[in-house]
Structure 1
């Protein structure tokens, strides 16, 4: 998102008191270290600057920070009730058959047992089959390889959420499914 003027959502975020800004960032990513890095660099002149800071913060997350961030994500196929971002991001599950949902649940459980955390994927724009296929292909990864894939996926999710936060009408965007 390239911009020469600061969009209203970013102006609003820059103007928030620190506790409110921290809460907004923790809705994007549940890592307190990630949120602290972004808070420390405020104000942001452009959405690109905010996303670049987010990318750097994501790259610097320790394994414990990554675990904290992943704990804020529901399993694929079970978005958080009442959370419009979760429902919007997992929209690809809407038309999935009961059989496909059951298969993904089984894969989620096997993945969680193997790696100790939820299967994290940037689900925006993916179909249920694509999410299932990704889970199937990633379950054989080493923990080290999977941690780096999770870092990339988390970065993608964070960028999408930050773009919405910093967009033209943040409050109106938050109310849309």
Structure 2
């Protein structure tokens, strides 16, 4: 019995060690990484930009005079800014068409981007988020449609180059509050605009 346990232990150890030494396919260049990376990580790697909006809440709040009393919160640094707005400011419930009041908010965001990134060389990523009341696929589509509506506004009214704007739906996958309460769900329904100096 002890010999059998010892043999099994040795065999398991050999398997573990051989797995640790196996690194998979060798990556020689950025193209290989992109080909091997998942859809989500390929976007980040290809563009070599720190888009991670999920770290938004850990960044310092920036007191931007033009955004005071606007229901827009800005966090970030001199080279990266994240503008966050609850969806109720921009959209009616369960809709992806921008409300009339959204013009004022997005105009202030556009002015802030231009003031902070004076050389105009920016990349913009718009994220759409939802609560979890509907199904995952529905929320994914709603988040994408909302992000697209904001991106379209930034192109048409903010006069930003469309080739410098990308969108991503996070749907219900990255809540910032509980989905068990109305207040929490409202916080989770939001749009974030991430701006990186390019």
Output the TM-score relative to the length of structure 1.
0.27
Q: Which of 1 and 2 has greater Rg?
A: 2
Determine which structure has greater relative contact order: mean sequence separation of CA pairs < 8 Å that are 6+ residues apart, divided by chain length: 1
